């Protein structure tokens, strides 16, 4: 395992880290297998944004006796209410769920206290001018958190936080698709010449490139989410590039951005940890992502769900991310239809329960037309 400096924090992190979001559906035994596989493979950083109580307790139990071998990213503002995840800027709720995090993780400190999911300048204003940043700074002063982080998908918002000086670590979504999101440019022009090498990344969205450079300049270490674009970039039927990347290519792509210290790969089973760790053994040729980008002529991630859950909670109780994932699986024949139908049937609420209220679309960082997808899923699944 290769290790990298995490910006100015003084921490050194494994370049492959563990994302824990998919562990929410797993038993304590499987959670322990995944966390131990990561630790045994040299992974020393994990992100746990989830507020669901059982998964927090399960990860805490898995780390028992090995807490000092793992750096933990815990999130300020990820709360659990009425049986669902919610993002909150309410100080009391944030405090309650940080206390819950510490208790369930069986620890008295969090290495990186992430201010959770800040995607707009207005929200950043609320945080900087209200009690949340004050709270994070106080936690740092008290040693309850060792570094202040922020998670975001928006390069402009993230850059302002980076340049404000209080941020130590940024959790940001990085992959070729997001970096190449066209902005007032014709995307085809990105692919007519071979610009895809370390010297000439001229195709990257300038706002995103500027963010990475700002992080490097301010000593803000980046930990990466969405390295595989929620699996979309591994699937030729869903990939906006109309071809699949390999995991090694996508990891290498993210690790090649300035200031990136670790890519946090979401793993649900120990075998997936093994796949992520296999990157360390790959050759330069196997990691080379330029070949996968060359010749691509079509590109659009607009309205593509990446199953991130950020649109929750839904007033109808719909697990929007799961519905979208199963709908995509069905239409791309990713698994036998009966299996997908059975998983869909087991959901507590279905697409047909959608009230078309639109709050999910307001929260979605990726512009997904959820209401339309709920209609399509209702038709596809029959309810």
Residues at the interface with ligand SF4 (CB under 6 A): 305-311, 314-316, 318, 320-321, 324, 354-360, 364, 366, 368, 370-371, 374
Cβ closest to ligand SF4, residue 140 vs residue 375: 375
Q: Considering the complex, what minimum distance in angstroms separates the CB of residue 379 from ligand SF4?
A: 15
Angle among Cα 228, 229, 232 to the nearest 5 degrees reads 90
Cβ closest to ligand SF4, residue 269 vs residue 375: 375
Q: Considering the complex, what minimum distance in angstroms separates the CB of residue 226 from ligand SF4?
A: 10
Q: Considering the complex, what minimum distance in angstroms separates the CB of residue 373 from ligand SF4?
A: 8
Cβ closest to ligand SF4, residue 48 vs residue 318: 318
Q: Considering the complex, what minimum distance in angstroms separates the CB of residue 50 from ligand SF4?
A: 14
Radius of gyration of the chain (CA): 20
- Half-sphere exposure in the Cβ direction for 362 (13 Å, CA): 6
Q: Considering the complex, what minimum distance in angstroms separates the CB of residue 357 from ligand SF4?
A: 4
Q: Considering the complex, what minimum distance in angstroms separates the CB of residue 251 from ligand SF4?
A: 21
Q: Considering the complex, what minimum distance in angstroms separates the CB of residue 355 from ligand SF4?
A: 4
Cβ closest to ligand SF4, residue 21 vs residue 32: 21
Q: How far apart are the first and last CA of the chain?
A: 47
Q: Considering the complex, what minimum distance in angstroms separates the CB of residue 349 from ligand SF4?
A: 8
Cβ closest to ligand SF4, residue 14 vs residue 309: 309
Cβ closest to ligand SF4, residue 139 vs residue 374: 374
Cβ closest to ligand SF4, residue 147 vs residue 368: 368
Cβ closest to ligand SF4, residue 139 vs residue 354: 354
């Amino acid at each position: 395992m290769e290790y990298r400096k995490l910006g100015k924090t003084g921490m050194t992190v494994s370049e492959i880290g563990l994302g824990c979001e998919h562990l929410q559906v797993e038993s304590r035994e499987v959670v322990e297998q995944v966390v131990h596989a990561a630790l045994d493979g040299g992974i020393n950083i994990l992100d746990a944004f989830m507020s669901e109580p059982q998964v927090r307790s399960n990860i805490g139990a898995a780390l028992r006796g090995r807490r000092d071998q793992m750096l933990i990213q815990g999130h300020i503002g990820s709360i659990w209410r009425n049986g669902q995840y919610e993002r909150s800027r309410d100080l009391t709720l944030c405090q309650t769920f940080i206390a819950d995090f510490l208790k369930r993780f069986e620890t008295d400190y969090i290495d990186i206290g992430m201010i959770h999911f800040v995607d707009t300048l207005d929200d950043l204003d609320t945080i900087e001018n209200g009690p949340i940043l004050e709270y994070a700074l106080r936690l740092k002063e008290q040693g309850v958190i060792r570094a202040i982080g922020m998670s975001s998908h928006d390069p402009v918002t993230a850059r302002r936080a980076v340049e404000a000086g209080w941020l130590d670590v940024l959790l940001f979504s990085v992959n070729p698709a997001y970096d190449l999101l066209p902005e007032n440019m014709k995307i085809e022009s990105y692919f007519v010449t071979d610009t895809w090498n370390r010297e000439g990344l001229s195709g990257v969205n300038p706002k995103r490139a500027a963010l990475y450079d700002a992080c490097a300049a301010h000593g803000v270490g980046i930990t990466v989410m969405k390295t595989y674009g929620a699996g979309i970039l591994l699937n030729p039927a869903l990939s906006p590039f109309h071809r699949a990347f390999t995991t090694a290519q996508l990891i290498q792509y993210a690790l090649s951005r300035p200031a990136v210290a670790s890519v946090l790969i979401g793993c649900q089973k120990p075998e997936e940890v093994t796949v992520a760790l296999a990157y360390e053994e790959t050759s330069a040729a196997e990691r080379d992502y330029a070949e996968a980008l060359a010749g691509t002529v079509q590109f659009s991630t607009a309205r593509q769900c990446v199953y991130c859950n950020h649109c929750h909670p839904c007033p109808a109780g719909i697990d929007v991310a799961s519905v979208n994932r199963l709908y995509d699986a069905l239409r791309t024949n990713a698994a036998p239809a009966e299996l997908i139908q059975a998983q869909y049937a087991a959901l507590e609420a279905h697409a047909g329960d959608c009230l078309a209220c639109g709050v999910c679309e307001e929260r979605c960082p990726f512009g997904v037309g959820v209401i339309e997808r709920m209609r399509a899923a209702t038709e596809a699944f029959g309810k």
